[in-house]
Structure formats: structure tokens, C-alpha cells
Amino acid sequence: MKLAVLQKWMQAVVVHPGTTEQALRSSAANRLLSSSDLQKVLLPSPTLSPAERIAVYQEMYPLRMYDALAVDYPGLEHFLGERFREFVAAYTTAHPSKGYTLNRLGDHVPAFLKRQRRFSPRPFLVDLARLELALTQSFDESEADPLPAADFEAIPPGRLAKTRLLTVPSVRLLSLDWNAGAYLDSLRDENHRHPKITKDRSFIVVFRRNYSIFRLSLSPSAYPVLEDIVAGQLLGRVVSRALARRGSKRASPDDFTRWFRQWTSEGIFAGVKKTA
């Protein structure tokens, strides 16, 4: 058997989500090697048949995928309980690892949950997954020194409008419709007092300072301001847009000093970019 064919066949068996018997008989495996010819490719040992021997690999594959996804999605794992295993099989069939690291395996989880119907309540699970993915991404981003408050305060008032603020790379902004944040917090409750899953609009910035991850709640008016800053808008435009918004998203002139002071002290900004 040629090396390329052997590897395609063995992979088809190893990643199959069913039993080893089903894997060996699957169309992906069978078109490369008939299951009745297994003993022509794999030798038995004194204690294991060829099928039992390849089962060692086939049984380890889902465990490895489970462990990798559980590290990045502890909230999802806890919420789904026994069904997390089923989720892992469905997800890794749709989005198998294609990279050299398992750290990126879960990148498509929010999008996958959004388009499936097996796991519910779907909108809550999507929000929970978006939050957990943001935490993972923030963890892995490159480090940057935060902007000292004095540097921000040193910008002449006349130049503020033509200034852009750079945020630290670990910043992730989230607008959630369900109480995913409260659920994630409740994982630390050893008595398992989890909140009732409910619709609850919230705005969050996730960021890292001194290698620790933080989550900060934002008001409906502060969120679009930080969103504009992250998008690289000039501060003059950020402010004018904020003042022109309607309803709860509208900022008042007094808000800006308070927000910028807080965000600077939290270490959300990395630098100032002045334009000519």
C-alpha cells in the first residue's frame, strides 16, 4: 500500500466520530481499503486484533479534541454537561484542526453554534462562546505597555481632536444580548448556584494587564465610544459622534473625562497617535 493512501485511510478511521467498526466501514475509509482487508495492512499482536489496535488511536482522538475545547470553553462545557462530548464531535467534524497548534481549534465555535439547532438555548450559547473566545484571544495577544496617564494629560487641548488613541492589542469589545457574563462568573460558585438564563443586554471590554485578563462593563453610551477608538477614529470625530447619538447611547460632555481617566488607569490605551 502506498504511503499516501495508507495515511489517508488511517486518518479517515482515526477521526471518525463513531465506533471503530463504523469507522472501518465508513465510505471515507472503505474507498481506500475494504474493511475485510484490514489484516492485510495491520498485523495483530498476541493480545489485540488489528481493529483493536487501531481503536487505540481512534478512541484517543475525541478525548484530545475534548480536552482542547474544554480549556478554551469551560463555561460551555459546564453548561452542556454530558452533551459537550456530542458538541465536540459535531464541531470537530465541521471544523477539524488544520493548524500546528490546538490553541486555534475553537476559533469557529461561536459561528458554529449560531448555525446549528442541536444545542439550546442557541442565542445564549452563542453569547457565552463569543465571550469565552474573546477571553482566549485576549490571553494570547502580544503584550504592550499601557499609556501613562501623564502622557494622555500632556496632549494640548487644541490637539486632542486630531489625536488617535491606540488600544492595547488584547482589547476585545463585546455586546451581549444574554447573561453569559453572569453565567461565567457563577462557575466559581462551588455550590453551583448559576443564574437563570435570561435576556440581558450588556456591553463589555475584555483586556489584559500584567498578564491577567479583566472584564469591564461599559454603559450603552461608553461602548460605541470605545468601539470608535478601537476602529482608529480621530478623537474629535469620536466625541462628535457620541454627542449626536440618540437615547441611551448618547453621551454627555461630562462623560468623556471620566471615561478616559478610567480607561487610562485600567491600561486599555497603549499610545497616542497625533496627526499633522
Partner 1 sequence: MNPKPKGNRFGFKDLGIGIGLRTVHYAHILARAPKIDWFEILAENYLDTGGRPAYVLDQVAERYPVALHGVSMSIGSTDPLNREHLKKLKALADRTKAHWVSDHLCWTGVLGRNTHDLLPMPYTEEALTHTVKRAKQVSEILERPLVLENPSSYVEFAHSTMPEWTFLARLAEEANCGLLLDVNNVYVSSFNHRFDPIEYIDAIPADRVVQYHLAGHTHKGTHIIDTHSDHAVDEVWNLYAHSVKRTGRVATLYEWDEDVPAFDVVLKEARKADRFRRALPS
- Smallest separation, CB 14 to partner 1 (Å): 6
CB distance 207 to 172 below 8 Å:
yes
The whole-angstrom separation of Cα 178 and Cα 125 is 9
Return the number of the residue (36 or 219) whose C-beta is nearest partner 1.
36
Contact residues: partner 1, CB under 8 A: 1-4, 6-8, 10-11, 14-15, 39-43, 45-48, 50, 52-54, 56-57, 60-61, 64, 68, 96-104, 139-143, 169-170, 208, 211
- Grid coordinates representing 135? 477571553
Choice between 6 and 231, CB closer to partner 1:
6
* CB closer to partner 1, 28 vs 230: 28
Please state the closest distance from residue 137 (CB atom) to partner 1, in A: 10
CA distance 224 to 255: 13
Could you tell me the smallest distance in angstroms from the CB atom of residue 39 to partner 1?
7
Q: What's the distance, Cα to Cα, between the start and end of the chain in Å?
A: 68
Sign of CA dihedral 201, 184, 218, 270: negative
Nearer Cβ to partner 1 (48/272): 48
Q: How far is the CB of 177 from partner 1 (least distance, A)?
A: 28
Nearer to partner 1, 104 or 162 (CB): 104
CA-wise closest residue to 13 among 4, 27, 23, 28: 23
Ramachandran area for residue 195 (φ above 0: left; ψ -120 to 50: alpha; else beta): beta
Least distance to partner 1, CB of residue 80, Å: 22
Q: For residue 28, which of 16, 46, 41 has the smallest C-alpha distance?
A: 16
